[in-house]
Amino acid sequence: MTYIAMATGFLLILIGFYGVLTNRNLLRMIVAFTIANSGINVVIIAIGYMHGRTAPILDATVSAADALTRIIDPVPQVLVLTAIVIGVGVTALMLVFAYKLYERKGTLDIAKFTELKW
Amino acid sequence: MSTLLTVMTVVLCIATLVAAIVSIQVKGDKSMPIAILAAGLVSLLASVLFLILAAPDVAMTEAAIGGGLTTFLFFFVLARMRNGEREYEEGKHD
Amino acid sequence: MIKRFLALALLAGIGVIFVALMMSYVPDANLNLTARYYAENTASETGSANIVTAILVTYRGLDTLGEVTVLFLASSIIGLVLSLGNKQNKTLRKLVPVGELLTTGKSYLAPIIMLLGVYVFVNGHLTPGGGFQGGAIIASGMLLLLLSDPLKHFSHALISVVESMSGFVYVSLGVLGIVLTGSFLDNRILPLGDFGDLISAGAIPLIYSLIGLKVGAEFSSMLANLSEMEDLQ
């Protein structure tokens, strides 16, 4: 199961990067970034999974005494929790900048933004 | 029982990849809302995948933030820029 | 055509690196040392049943403070960038009439959604959940109110007051931890209580509620700013 989820995550990252490299509409590139973000999160969670064990929450099924043998690694989940929230903040910023560029130039084609080329 | 879970995981992963490919490759008129909704579907299926990988906190966060808020952010901004969703073809400005 | 071929070649190179990483990965059979410490000592040291919550709030609390700062930066930059620029082309947006289902449904659904959000972040130390999930649910409730009444203006002053006060109280709780117990954001400033009760685990419910309010206020201010943008032709 670990390998299936990890392969899915890696393929999502590759599909997202392909979308960024080939599209020319700015909004489509931002959608492809979102897909790559989801892929990275899937890969990190797939690393922490161990076969036959359950979620790191101590309740009626897993008591505090035998937690050592029954739960999976909790640290990757903490990292991914932070990463998801920061990802949505970065996506909102990218969308606002795309709106401002459209207001200034009237187009969303990135081949038209040539001020920084020499 | 474990083979059922493995089969479910494989079906879920294939559905996620198909949704991602649809989001990148859809062309034509009215293709921008389809691409945004397909990206939201990828987030939702990834949230179910997180639940199968025994991470319920992460599944809740991804479903609420990835599937809800990100899709709405895209539609808010898209509604204000109706003229920018044309396809720009490849061989015209290269 | 050549650009597409180059993009595919680059992706194939990255794909080879990914395959090499995946082939050399062997899943662990037992927990590593860090996870073993967290599994054995979380219940007795912090009194919380959700290990992920305990790590986020007390053991790695400084990283959570950094993340809340990043969200605050993103939300204030959005508010700043959208208020610049020339305002003379204020075209009147043609409004689609909102249906009856939305205007009646919102008065039933919005309080329940807010209540669910508050429930999720108050019970963060007992069940899966916590501040970020509860804040996102509260922001979804505000989004429902925004969608059903497009002309309504939310008072940005109220949202910013809620956000600033929760951030300030969160940092001052951390400093109180230094004064009383000697480490930043320690949850032992309040008594630990019984394991599994609602009022237990020291200051973790309080800190997580403040984080939930702050994150919900930040997402709501982002959405309110975005819904007041003008139409561009």
Summarised one tens digit per residue, pLDDT across range C32-64 is 888 888 888 888 888 888 889 889 888 888 899
How far is the C-alpha of A78 from the C-alpha of C199, rounded, in Å? 23
pLDDT of residue B91: 42
The Cα-based distances of C76 to A34, A60, C52, C114, C127 in angstroms read: 22, 43, 29, 24, 32
What confidence score (pLDDT) does residue A117 get? Answer: 79
**pLDDT beyond 70 at C194:** yes
Q: Which amino acid is at A79?
A: L
Chosen for mutation from A75, A91, A100 (greatest number of chain C CBs closer than 10 Å) is A75
Q: Which residue of C has its CA nearest to A22?
A: C4
Interatomic CA distance for residues C128 and C124, integer angstroms = 6
Q: Can you give the pTM of this predicted structure? A: 0.89
pLDDT digits (tens, 9 = 90+) for B10-20: 999 999 999 99
Interface check for C96 against chain B (CB to CB < 8 A): the answer is: no
3-state secondary structure of A54: strand
Interchain CB distance below 8 Å, A41 and B55: no
Domains: count for chain C: 1
Tokens 């951030």 found at: C167
Is residue C155 one of the residues assigned to a domain?
yes
Of residues C167 and A63, more confidence is placed in C167
Q: Which residues of C185-204 are buried (b: 16+ CB within 10 A; e: fewer)?
A: bbbbbbebeeebeeebbbbb
Where do runs of H (alpha helix) occur along B1-94? Answer: 2-25, 31-52, 56-61, 70-80
Q: What are phi and psi of A113, to 5 degrees?
A: -90, 90
Q: Which of B35, B65, B81 sits opposite A31 (nearest CB)?
A: B35
pLDDT of residue B84: 55
DSSP assignment of C193-225 equals: -STT-SS-STTHHHHHHHHHHHHHHHHHHHHHH
In this predicted structure, what is the pLDDT of residue A64?
A: 73
Chain A contacts in chain B segment 5-44 (CB below 8 A): 5-6, 9-10, 13, 16-17, 20-21, 23-24, 32, 35-36, 39, 42-43
Name the nearest CA neighbour of C48 among C176, C208, C171, C177. C208
Intra-chain end-to-end CA distance of chain C, in Å = 33
Domains of chain A: 2-53+66-112 (1.10.287.3510)
Angstroms from B41 CA to nearest CA on chain A: 10
| CA–CA separation, B46 and A9 (whole Å) | 9
Question: What does DSSP assign to residue A56?
Answer: S
| Dihedral sign, Cα of residue C83, residue C84, residue C87, residue C92 | negative
Q: Can you tell me the mean pLDDT for C14-22?
A: 93
CB contact, 8 Å: C95 with chain B?
no
Residue-level pLDDT at C233: 64
B interface with C, Cβ–Cβ < 8 A, is 56-57, 60-61, 64-65, 68-69, 72-73, 76-77, 80-81, 83, 90, 94
Domain that holds residue C165: 50-82+101-233
**Residue C212 maps to a domain:** yes
Q: A13: exposed, middle or buried (C-beta count within 10 Å: 0-12, 13-18, 19+)?
A: buried
Burial of B25 (0-12, 13-18, 19+ CB in 10 A): middle
Number of Cβ within a 10 Å radius of residue B23:
26
Closest CA to B94 of C96, A45, C6: C6
List chain A residues with CB under 8 Å of B35: 28, 31
Percent of chain B whose predicted confidence (pLDDT) is above 90: 54
Q: Report pLDDT for C98.
A: 78
pLDDT tens figures, C65-81: 999 999 999 999 998 98
Inspect the interface and report whether the beta carbons of B80 and C137 lie closer than 8 Å. no
| pLDDT single digits (tens) C76-108 | 999 898 888 656 555 556 667 778 888 888 889
**How sure is the predictor about B92, in pLDDT bands with cuts at 50, 70 and 90?**
very low
State whether the Cα torsion C106-B69-C96-C153 is positive or negative.
positive
Name which of B32, C137, C65 is nearest A23 in CA terms: B32
Tell which of C3, C82, C125, C133 to mutate to test the B interface (max B CBs under 10 Å).
C133
Measured between CB atoms, does B75 come within 8 Å of chain A? no
Which chains does chain A touch, 3 or more C-beta pairs < 8 A? B, C
CB proximity C167 to B under 8 Å:
no
Positions of chain A with pLDDT lower than 70, given as ranges: none
Smallest CA–CA distance, residue A76 to chain C, in Å, is 10
Q: Which own/partner contact pairs does B4-12 have at CB distance under 8 Å and 24+ positions apart?
A: B5/A1, B5/B52, B6/A1, B6/A4, B8/B52, B9/A1, B9/A4, B9/A5, B9/B49, B9/B52, B10/A4, B12/B45, B12/B48, B12/B49, B12/B52
- How high does pLDDT run on average in chain C? 85
Question: What's the CA gap between A62 and A54, in Å, rounded?
Answer: 9
Q: Say what the ipTM of the complex is.
A: 0.88
Instruction: Output the pLDDT for position B12.
Output: 93
Q: Do B81 and A102 touch (CB under 8 A)?
A: yes
pLDDT, residue B93, reads: 42
Tens of pLDDT, residue by residue over C122-160, are 888 888 888 899 999 999 898 888 888 777 777 888 888
Using the beta-carbon criterion (under 8 Å), do A45 and B58 form an inter-chain contact? yes
Q: Specify whether the CB–CB gap between B38 and B20 falls below 8 A.
A: yes
